[in-house]
Amino acid sequence: MKLSLCTITFRHQLISFAQIVRFAHRHHFDGIELWGTHAQHLYDHDRLEMEEQVRLVRDQGMSISMLSDYLDIATSTGFQRTLEKAKRLISLAKWLHVKQIRTFAGQKASKEVRQEERARYVHHLQILCKMCQEHGIQLLVETHPNTLTDSMSSTLALLQEVNHPALKVNLDFLHVWESGADPIDAYEQLRPWVAHYHLKNISSSNHLPVFAPHNVYAPNGDREGMVLLGEGAVDYGPILEKIADTDYFASIEWFGQSPQRVLAEEVEWLRKAMMVRA
């Protein structure tokens, strides 16, 4: 398993991509998961410097592990805008030599999606998957609350409904645990589609709302309950035993304070934990 950090961790800090690259290399990360907003800004304003940094990433044995963004598959009238955004993301992915784009499967809880809505979501995902496949890119849906992948039953059904080889899963173990599923059982069931992992933890289920997007993206949002991977309610010991030998990236997804200190501690803890289980 390869370890990456997320540039979204630094969404509220004044830090350059070059500084993130140096930090990642210094702490022996294997890659960097790049937020789509950051990628677009760098392309529009610092293209030459970004290309130099991407070369440096590759020269140092790292890679851009995934481009993470949000494609609206729920829209009934504005899907053309989604297609235009998808084209931009694919262009960015090719520019960055990235083979994976992450999105969410809608923005509504699966139980609240009517049958005709779900059919529209599936159709839109099929179109997006075809676009990605034409460029050698995988489209990853993340296991996440208030989407069509907020439960194991809905996630498995969606994968079968879309039925496209370019559709994969970004497995967020905390959100799977949040759904009430056992993370190990979920991994085993989703294994044929899993292509990336997200790792984060929480002190207790009482604090799970801190990961709601509107809170995460707010500069003054609540951060109570966000804890280190080895100190939270999700037991990562058995999870690492299952995934340590897989050939995928696992991104440490930290949204709390002191990101550089925490990421340095987390990557060291993960390396040691995987060595123990080797």
What whole-number distance in Å separates Cα of residue 150 and Cα of residue 141?
11
Cα 241 off chain centre by: 21
Residue of 124, 144, 175, 198 marked catalytic: 144
What is the per-residue burial (b if ≥16 Cβ within 10 Å, else e) of 138-167? bbbbbbbbbbbbbbbebbebbbebbebebb
Q: Let me know: does 171 contact 189? Beta carbons within 8 Å.
A: no
Whole-Å CA distances, 205 to 198, 233, 257: 18, 8, 20
Q: Could you write out the DSSP letters of every residue in 184-208?
A: HHHHHHHTTTEEEEEE-EES-GGGG
Q: Is 144 a catalytic residue?
A: yes
Instruction: Determine the length of the chain.
Output: 278
Residues carrying an active site annotation: 144
